[in-house]
Amino acid sequence: MKILITGGAGFIGSHLTDRLLAEGHSVVVYDNLSLGRLDNIEEAQKNPNFSFIEGDILDKEKFFAVFENNKFDIVFHMAANSDIARSHANPDVDFDNTLRTTYNTLLAMKEFGVKKIVFASTSAIYGETLEKVAETYGPLFPASHYGASKLASEAYISSFCENYGIQAWITRFPNVVGERSTHGVIRDFIKKLKKTPERLEVLGNGMQYKPYLYVKDLVEAILYVWKNTNDKINFYNLGVDSRTRVKEIAQMVIEEMGLNAKIEYTGGDRGWVGDVPEFNYNLDKIHKLGWEAKNTSNEAVRKAIRYILEIDKCNL
Amino acid sequence: MKILITGGAGFIGSHLTDRLLAEGHSVVVYDNLSLGRLDNIEEAQKNPNFSFIEGDILDKEKFFAVFENNKFDIVFHMAANSDIARSHANPDVDFDNTLRTTYNTLLAMKEFGVKKIVFASTSAIYGETLEKVAETYGPLFPASHYGASKLASEAYISSFCENYGIQAWITRFPNVVGERSTHGVIRDFIKKLKKTPERLEVLGNGMQYKPYLYVKDLVEAILYVWKNTNDKINFYNLGVDSRTRVKEIAQMVIEEMGLNAKIEYTGGDRGWVGDVPEFNYNLDKIHKLGWEAKNTSNEAVRKAIRYILEIDKCNL
C-alpha cells in the first residue's frame, strides 16, 4: 500500500513509519519538523520504500501537490500540536496545528479521491469526569484547546466520511510515553533535577492519576484497530488498564537518576489550566476486539525515564 | 444589560433582538447581511437602545473594535451559515461562517474580558441515529459539515470556559420555522409550486420525520434556559415533542395554496447528502426545567407556510 503519514517524523508518527515500512508498505512522510526530528526517521531514510517531504500542511499548495504526485491508498494523520499546556496562552496553536491541519488533510483527500484515514485522537475530548469513559460517553466538553481541536477534527472526519464516502479509523490515545517523546511530565522532572538535584518541584499535589501507554504498545493498537475493523467510522479508546500517580513518576525519576531529592508540591489538584486531575478509560471495546497493552502504566513510565536518561540525553 | 447579538439581523437572531430590546436591554447587532436582512431589524432600528453594525466576524480588526468600543455583558452568538445542504459542495462555507466565526467570537471575548455566551447549537451534532437523543448522547458523529462545525464550536466554547472563566449556555435547535426564515423545505415547496402549480417534486420518499419548532417558541426557550440555569456550561435540547413528515408538509403547502398538485417523490430515504431521514429529541431536561413549546410541529409548519404566502411573498 502507498501510505501518507503526516507528522511522520514526530514522536508517535515516526514509530508508525518504522512499523509500516517493516510491513513492506511504501511510506511518504510529510512533516514540518516543528516537533518532528530528522533523527527519528534516520533508519527509515535508508529504506527505498520511504520518502520524506519537509512541509507544512497549512501550506495548502505544497501539501496538495504531494497528493497530486502520489496516489495514496490511505492517510495516517498524526500531525498535530502535542503540547497540551502550551495553547492556554495562545489558542491558535491548536486551532492551526491540530484542527486546520486535519481539515486541510480532509480537503486534500476529497480533492484527490483518497478514501481512508487513520486519525490520532485523544482522551482529552472527554473533558473532566470521574467516570471510566467508554467510547459512547457524552456530553463531550473538553477542558483544553487541545481536546477541543481533536474533537473538532473528529467532527469533520465524520462529516467528510458521510459526504464523500471516506472511511475512518479514529483511535483515542491516553498519555503516551517512550522513545522519541518531545515533552511531558517525565522530561520536565528530569530537566528540573539536572538543574537542582536536591529538590523537585511538582506542579499540583502529585495526586493526578492517569494511564500512561507505552508508545510501541500504542502503535500496535493503532494497526490492530485498522486491520480488524471495517465500519464507516471505527472508533476506539486505546490504553492500558493500570494508572500512575504523578508522585509515583516523581519518585521513579529520582530513583532512576540515583538521587535523594526532596519533592515539593505546589498544591492544587491539577498541574496547569486545562489539565484534568484524574482520568480513567473504559477499554472493553478494544479488549473485546482482541488487543491488550503489553506494558503496565508504571512499566511504560520506567521505560520512558530510562530512554531519556540513557539514549536521549542530548535532547534534554 | 449590554448585549451583542452576532447574526442579529438574521432569521432567529432578529427575533432575539426584538425580544431582548422589549425587555429593556441595550442591544448591538453585528451582521454581515449575507443571510440577515435590514427588513428584519426595521422595528429595532427605531429603539434608542439599539445599534446595528454591518460587518463580518472574519474581519477580525473590525469585529474586535466593536468589543473595544462597547463593554458587553454577554454575547448571543447566532451568526452562522444556516443552509445545511449548501456546504456539501464547499465545506469552507461552514468552516468559515460557522466554526471560525465562533472561534473569533471566543477570541474577542477572551481579549476583552466578556464572560458570558449564549450559543445557537443544533440537533445536527448528534448525527444519524434512531434513538430519542438526550443531551448526554454519544458518540457524536455529525453527518453534515453544518453539524461538524457546530460540534467543533461547542468544543471550543467548552475549552474557553475552562481556560478563561467563561460561562456558556449552549442551546441545541431542531428544525426551526416561522417568520423571517431564509430557506428550507417549506420555502422550496412554495417556490416549486409557483413555477409548476400542477405538480410538486419532493426530494426523497417524503417519509423524513422531524420536529419543527416555531421560531417564537425557540426564542422563548433560549431566554428561559439563560435565565434559569447557572452552571459553567449549561446545555439543552430545545424542541417540540411532536414531529412532521415531509409528505405532510407537501400536503399542507398545496392545501394552503389552494392547489390540486400531484406530489412526485424522487425516492431514497433522504433529501440530500448529509441529511438524516429521522430525528427525535429527548426533551426531558428542558421540560424538567419548566419550559414547553406552545405550538406543535404541525402548527409551526402551518404558521410558517401562511407567513411566507401572506407576508413574505416578495422574498420568494
Domain with CATH 3.90.25.10 in chain B: 178-211+242-279+296-315
The pLDDT of residue A312 is 73
Q: A5 pLDDT exceeds 80?
A: yes
> Does residue B83 or residue B55 have the better pLDDT?
B55
Average pLDDT of the residues in B16-36: 97
Please tell me the distance in Å from B95's CA to the nearest CA on chain A. Answer: 9
Average pLDDT of the residues in A189-199: 94
CB-based contact (8 Å) between A273 and chain B? yes
The pLDDT of residue B182 is 84
Average pLDDT of the residues in B206-234: 97
The pLDDT of residue A83 is 84
Contacts of A162 (CB under 8 A, 6+ apart): A232, B127, B128, B142, B143, B144, B273, B274
Average pLDDT of the residues in B119-129: 95
Average per-residue pLDDT for chain B? 95
Where would I find the H helices in chain B? 11-22, 60-69, 92-94, 101-112, 145-164, 185-195, 215-228, 246-256, 284-289, 297-310
Each residue's pLDDT tens digit, A105-162: 999 999 999 999 999 999 999 998 888 999 999 999 999 999 999 999 999 999 999 9
CB contact under 8 A, A159 and B142: yes
- Which amino acid, A309? L
The topology under which CATH files domain B2-176+214-237 is Rossmann fold (3.40.50)
CB contact under 8 A, B151 and A148: no
Q: What homologous superfamily is domain A2-176+213-237 in, according to CATH?
A: NAD(P)-binding Rossmann-like Domain (3.40.50.720)
CB contact under 8 A, B163 and A144: yes
The topology under which CATH files domain B178-211+242-279+296-315 is UDP-galactose 4-epimerase; domain 1 (3.90.25)
A-B Cβ pairs (cutoff 8 Å, strict): 133
End-to-end CA distance of chain B: 37
Domain with CATH 3.90.25.10 in chain A: 179-211+241-315
pLDDT band at A274 (very low <50, low <70, confident <90, very high): low
Average pLDDT of the residues in A169-189: 93
The pLDDT of residue B183 is 83
Each residue's pLDDT tens digit, B72-122: 999 999 999 988 888 899 999 999 999 999 999 999 999 999 999 999 999
Tell me which residue in B148, B158, B161 faces A156 most closely, judged by beta carbons.
Answer: B148
pTM over 0.90: yes
Evaluated on CA atoms B41, B45, B47, B53, the torsion sign reads positive
Query: Given 3-state DSSP classes, what are the helix, strand and coil percentages for chain A, each rounded to the nearest 5?
Result: 45, 20, 35
A24 φψ region: left (φ > 0), alpha (ψ -120 to 50), beta (else): left
CATH architecture of A179-211+241-315: Alpha-Beta Complex (3.90)
The pLDDT of residue B83 is 84
Tell me which residue in A125, A138, A148 faces B137 most closely, judged by beta carbons.
Answer: A138
Q: B276 pLDDT exceeds 80?
A: no
Q: B26 pLDDT exceeds 90?
A: yes
Tell me which residue in B107, B147, B155 faces A148 most closely, judged by beta carbons.
Answer: B155
The pLDDT of residue B170 is 98
Each residue's pLDDT tens digit, A54-69: 999 999 999 999 999 9
Domain with CATH 3.40.50.720 in chain A: 2-176+213-237
